[in-house]
Each structure stands twice: as structure tokens, then as C-alpha cells.
Structure 1
Amino acid sequence: MLNFLLVFFSLIFLTILHEFSHFLAAKKSGVFVEEFGIGYPPRIFEKKIGNTLYSINLLPFGAFVKLGGEIGEGIFSKLPLFKRFIIVLAGVISFWVIACLIFIFLFKFGIPVSISDEEFSNTAKVQIIEIAKNSPAQITGLKPGDVIREFKFQNERYKIEKVNDLQELIQKHKGERVILKIERGKEIFDVEIIPRVNPPEGEGPIGIGLSRIDIKKYPLLKSILEGMKMTGI
């Protein structure tokens, strides 16, 4: 339910942003904006400022801009082609700009990235990214996003820092009961699991896909360049 609400309000916010960008572009181009509304009628609040009516409406499914269509000053159809082009594309451009700013923020303050075992890192973690159906991993309750911190067999303990290290240990102990120390959010717990001796084709002994994840942070200029690259700007 929480995820649904998050998606719902995110879509509303993006729609309002999209229409507001059209509104600003129209105003800057000298086009008469008859109404800018949040939601869809019937209206529950309205206020006229200058020549534009601003409204809040009952149905919370986005927003709209109503451009003036009467003959006279500020008519959209009478604008030069490039100005009409800017107004039409303003919503899409705003999405690009917001996406770019989000990526810049993430690259500046930390974004999870997949790295190889060969790359040096003191903070990388081995994370489950995929679990096969009816595999030992699924049966024991492992989930995508779980971090495997340690592998234990009897009195032996191995800190897990690389994907290949874990894969070799699992292969070595097929058919034997082993313990994986799991980090899930703020929880840390042990899971007992027996790697399969003869797993189905295309699956490993415990049925998981793994990735080595690290948090990358960049200086501001590098963050800006990476953000622009990610959004194709």
C-alpha cells in the first residue's frame, strides 16, 4: 500500500511539474494563459491573478494549462514556430532537468554501483540480486537486496568481500550444511542452507545471482558530468 501511494503521489507531482513547465514557457513567450489548474474539475478553489485563473480541483489526477484562444494578443497559434516548439517541449525538458539534478545529487552524496572483484574497495558488499524459484535460497527466505557478510562451516569463518570468494566456498561445500551471515536493512542474522550437489541447469548450488556493490561518490564537477551523461544531456 505504501509503495502504491508513493508511486501515485510521484506521478501527480511529475504531472504538475510537466504542466507547470508548459505554463512558465507560455508566460515567458507572451501567450495568454486562461487557466492553470491542479487536479481536474469540479473546482474547489480558484483565484484570478492578472489575466490567469489559478484553480485547485477535486479530482487529484495531475494538472492542466488552458491557453487563451481568442483573436488578439498572446495567441499560441500566432507565435513564431520556435516559440511554439519551446512551449510544447517545456514539459519534457523539465523532466530531463529534474532527472539530471537527481543524478547529480546521487553521484555527489553516494550512489550504489556494481563493481568487479578486481576493483579495490574497503566498503564493497556482496549482494543478492536474483533468487531462483524453489531454490535453497528461496526456501530459506533469502531475498534480493540481502547482503552476505560471512560464510561459516563448522569452525571455519570467512568474511565475504568478493563474489568469486563466495562462489568458490559454496562449490567446495555442496551437500553440506553451511551458515550465511545476512545483512538486511538494519537486521543481521544467520541462515542455514545446504548447497545443492546437482542444481538445475543455469542455476548455482543455492540458486542466487550476486553482485559486488559499492557506494560511489564524486566531486561536484564530476557529479555534474555523470548526471548529464546518465540523462543524455
Structure 2
Amino acid sequence: MHILQTVVSFILVLSILVFVHELGHFLFAKRAGILVREFAIGFGPVVFSKRKGETLYAIRLLPLGGFVRMAGEDPEIIDIKPESIIHLDMKQNLVTDVWLIDPREVKGELVTGKLVEMDTEKDLFVTILLDESGEQVRYPLHREAFIHLNKKNEMQIAPIDRQFSSKTVWQKALTILAGPIFNIILTIILFGVYTAVIGVEAKLPISMVTKNSPAEKAGLKPGDVIQTVNNKRVSTIDMLRVELINSKGKAVPFVVKRGNQDLQVNIAPQKQGEVYIIGTMFDQRQMMRKATMMETVREGFKQTYNWSVIILDGFGKLVTGQISIDSLGGPAQMGYLTGKAADAGFVALIKWTALLSLNLGIFNLLPIPALDGSRLIFIIIEGVRGRPINPSKESYVHLVGFAMLILLMVFVTINDFRKIF
């Protein structure tokens, strides 16, 4: 039952993050007038799909990602051999459907013949040789015509102005950038919700004093509430931490409240690694108060910024070798930790989801082939040089990058199982 809960929690959380990410791409693609062929959550075989308008919405078997398939990202290839028998569904003198099989349904007038020529991008026409008379006739294609290749595959044509490759550098950049940005916006919202639920730190009531610590030597006791440090009011652990670092180990004045009295003591913080401590622990429940609306908004941005700095610092140390690649976590570890967060309760799961969303957003902005950051680099180069890089060369770079990411995922997954099991 616990394993099932972990798996369900992980799939649910990851699906939400992927949905938000792909929604960013989708909305800005639509805004730019790009034809979106498919909006998919997951990879592999289709489990469920439904077409609405010009887009196929699908849930696929492997819930480890997703994609928005836009017309013109790759060369548009419609492989219909000349002299193939095709059926044209006509409406108001425009071809709305081209069938390579017997039509399942006909909305208008049906014309059958052998294909001579077809242009689905620029001039939008199809020329056929009529069976009855042997006459060649050219018919105009509707801008949203569908080509039905077989019983399972159909494809809407994409005029050149509806393809990703035809859009301006600015439109393409926004479409690609929107995915990671939507994840970062989700992070801000989730940290705001987290703050609204747990509240904000309002005071520092001491719950325990470590033996032989600077705090004990200064006479601090459980129940005391720290008011000021070095004449500056402190009400959160972060504020206290900053003042202790600023002290650089020198004795600074503390004002603590004990009952109805304010006591002043001098404490010299003790260095421990990169930080300074005085040897106190605090009662988390008594520290908090209900957050105001402005505080929830501010904390959403603040926590997102603080964690972004931590994540980028981690990536930097990974590149410079200060952190081993063995420390990386993959899908198995993410699933395991998501299950742990779910066990800890809804509030802990909100915070964990926020962190995963931020990691996804930042990771996708890195200039790694096959990720959004790499695609943005190619778009920026296009803007500078005034013309796009050869699509085949760009596709090769992304293909190599994708292969490297798959190898990395295999490595970290094996590493995950070693850590977990």
C-alpha cells in the first residue's frame, strides 16, 4: 500500500509539473498563431486521446515528461505517392478532407481521382486526375484541411505562416521560454500557499539550550524569547543567522524576554563550518503566526529566489567538480522522496512540489542540447546572424544531447536504486 501511495503521489506531482510546463509552450504557441498538433502528458503509446479543434490532447503510457508538438519544428513531410487514389471532401469549393482510404464520413461533395500534385504549405492546392473523364482538375485546399492517411493516422495541413519555423525570433523565443517560466510561476504560487498554511515566523522562543554552548554560558534558558541582537530586532531564524554571521565571532548584545522581564546579555557566537551558532533550538509551533496576504505573496517570491540561488550554486559546484555526480537524483529517488513528502502530509508535499517545479524550470533553462535552454541559444544565434542555423545540424545537436540525457538518466536511476535499496 505504501509503494502504491508513493507511485501515485509521484505520478500525480510529476504530471502537474509537466502539464504546467507544456501549458506555457502551448499557450504562447497559440498566441503566435502556431499550429499545435499534439499536447501530450507522458511518452510512449497513447493511453487516452481526444481531439479538440486542431489539437490532439493525449495521455501516454510513460509518465516521465510530456511534449507540445508544433507544426514546423521538424520538416513537414506528407508522403503520398503520385497516382495514389485519393478522395476529396469538398465544401464551398474548398477541400476540407483528403482521404487515402474510403471516407468514414463525408461532410460535403465527394470527388475521387488519382493524385497528380499537392501543395499543403504555400499555394494550398491539390490536383487530381478524375477517374470518369481523365481530366486534370486543380482544387484549392482549406487552410485547416485534414489528410487521412489510414484508419488511425490523420494530419492537419500547416500553411507556412502557421509553422514554428516561420515565426519571428521574438515569437519563437517566448514560446520556448514560456515552459520554464510557467514552472517558476507555479513555484512562486506554491510557496505562497505553503506560507498561507503554515504562517510566518514572528518570534524566537527558545525550546532547548545546548550544554556548554555560548547561550548556556550567557545564562539563556528554555522559554526565553530572543528580542534583539546587536540592537537589531530579530523575529526569524534567518534574521538571527544573519546577525550571527555579521558578528564574526565577537561578543554582541542580546535582549531576551523572560516572563515579563527584558534581560540583556553578551554572547560570542561560535563558528561551525561556514556559519556561527550560539547553541539554541526553537519551538517551531510557537514561532509562527498567520500570514497576511502581502506576506504570502512576498514569501512566494522570496523563497523562490532563495532556492534558485541554492540550486544554481549546486549546478555550479557539479560542473566544477566540487560535488560528485553520484549526488544526482533521478526518477526513482524523486519518486521515493515524493512518497516521503506525501507521508509527512499535504503541507510537506506542497513544499516538495514547489522545489521540484523550480528544479524543472531552472534545469530546462540550462544550455544543454535537447532542453529549452539549448533551443533558446539557437534562436538567439538566429537573431544575431539574421537567418536560422541549418535545421538538420540543429536537429543533430539536439539528438546527441537527448542521447546523453538518456544515458545520464540511466546512470542516476541505477544510482538511485543503490541509495534506496
Q: Normalised by the shorter chain, which TM-score bucket?
A: 0.5 to 0.7
**Gapped regions of structure 1 (runs ≥ 5):** 118-124, 128-158, 165-201, 203-207
In the alignment, the residues of structure 2 paired with residue 51 and residue 16 of structure 1 have an alpha-carbon distance, to the nearest angstrom, of: 19
CA contact (8 A) 1:40 1:58 kept: yes
**Gapped regions of structure 2 (runs ≥ 5):** 77-120, 122-159, 209-220, 227-271, 273-278, 309-421
Which has the larger Rg? 2
Task: Please tell me the residue identity of whatever aligns with 2:13.
Answer: S
In the alignment, the residues of structure 2 paired with residue 14 and residue 64 of structure 1 have an alpha-carbon distance, to the nearest angstrom, of: 12
Equivalent runs, 1:25-174 vs 2, <5 Å: 25-69=28-72, 70=76, 71=121, 72-111=160-199, 113=201, 116-117=204-205, 126=207, 160-162=222-224
Q: How many residues end up aligned between the 2 structures?
A: 154
Task: Please tell me the residue identity of whatever aligns with 1:77.
Answer: S
Task: Please tell me the residue identity of whatever aligns with 2:290.
Answer: K
CA contact (8 A) 1:163 1:210 kept: no
Q: 1:96 to 1:81 in 2, by over 3 A?
A: same
Q: 1:114 to 1:15 in 2, by over 3 A?
A: farther
CA contact (8 A) 2:202 2:289 kept: no
Matched, 1:12 2:15: yes
Task: Please tell me the residue identity of whatever aligns with 1:60.
Answer: P
Please state which structure has a larger fraction of its residues in helix. 2
In the alignment, the residues of structure 2 paired with residue 218 and residue 112 of structure 1 have an alpha-carbon distance, to the nearest angstrom, of: 6
Q: Which residue of 1 aligns with 2:281?
A: 210
Q: Which residue of 1 aligns with 2:100?
A: none
In the alignment, the residues of structure 1 paired with residue 288 and residue 10 of structure 2 have an alpha-carbon distance, to the nearest angstrom, of: 25
Q: 1:59 to 1:18 in 2, by over 3 A?
A: same
Q: 1:54 to 1:8 in 2, by over 3 A?
A: closer
One of 211, 225, 231 as aligned partner of 2:298: 225
In the alignment, the residues of structure 2 paired with residue 29 and residue 226 of structure 1 have an alpha-carbon distance, to the nearest angstrom, of: 33
Q: 1:49 to 1:16 in 2, by over 3 A?
A: same
- The CA RMSD over aligned residues, in Å, is 3.3
- Once structures 1 and 2 are overlaid, which stretch shifts more, 22-31 or 223-232? 223-232
Q: 1:86 to 1:47 in 2, by over 3 A?
A: same
In the alignment, the residues of structure 2 paired with residue 113 and residue 221 of structure 1 have an alpha-carbon distance, to the nearest angstrom, of: 14
Task: Please tell me the residue identity of whatever aligns with 2:55.
Answer: T
* TM-score when normalising by structure 2: 0.32
CA contact (8 A) 1:114 1:212 kept: no
Task: Please tell me the residue identity of whatever aligns with 2:281.
Answer: L
* Displacement after TM superposition at 1:163 (Å): 9.1
Q: 1:8 to 1:50 in 2, by over 3 A?
A: closer
| Residues 16-65 of structure 1: per-residue CA shift (max 9 Å, x gap) | 22112211111122111111112223113222222212222222223211
In the alignment, the residues of structure 2 paired with residue 57 and residue 84 of structure 1 have an alpha-carbon distance, to the nearest angstrom, of: 26
Q: 1:8 to 1:45 in 2, by over 3 A?
A: closer
Please state which structure has a larger fraction of its residues in strand. 1
* Displacement after TM superposition at 1:66 (Å): 0.6
In the alignment, the residues of structure 2 paired with residue 225 and residue 111 of structure 1 have an alpha-carbon distance, to the nearest angstrom, of: 12
CA contact (8 A) 2:34 2:70 kept: yes
Higher relative contact order (CA 8 A, sep 6+): 1
CA contact (8 A) 2:203 2:288 kept: no
In the alignment, the residues of structure 2 paired with residue 108 and residue 47 of structure 1 have an alpha-carbon distance, to the nearest angstrom, of: 37
Task: Please tell me the residue identity of whatever aligns with 1:89.
Answer: L
In the alignment, the residues of structure 2 paired with residue 48 and residue 5 of structure 1 have an alpha-carbon distance, to the nearest angstrom, of: 26
In the alignment, the residues of structure 2 paired with residue 83 and residue 216 of structure 1 have an alpha-carbon distance, to the nearest angstrom, of: 45
In the alignment, the residues of structure 2 paired with residue 6 and residue 112 of structure 1 have an alpha-carbon distance, to the nearest angstrom, of: 27
* Displacement after TM superposition at 1:3 (Å): 4.7
Q: 1:46 to 1:5 in 2, by over 3 A?
A: closer
Equivalent runs, 1:173-188 vs 2, <5 Å: none
| Residues 209-229 of structure 1: per-residue CA shift (max 9 Å, x gap) | 834422243221232123222
CA contact (8 A) 1:107 1:216 kept: no
| Residues 187-212 of structure 1: per-residue CA shift (max 9 Å, x gap) | xxxxxxxxxxxxxxx9xxxxx98344
Task: Please tell me the residue identity of whatever aligns with 1:58.
Answer: L
In the alignment, the residues of structure 2 paired with residue 114 and residue 209 of structure 1 have an alpha-carbon distance, to the nearest angstrom, of: 17
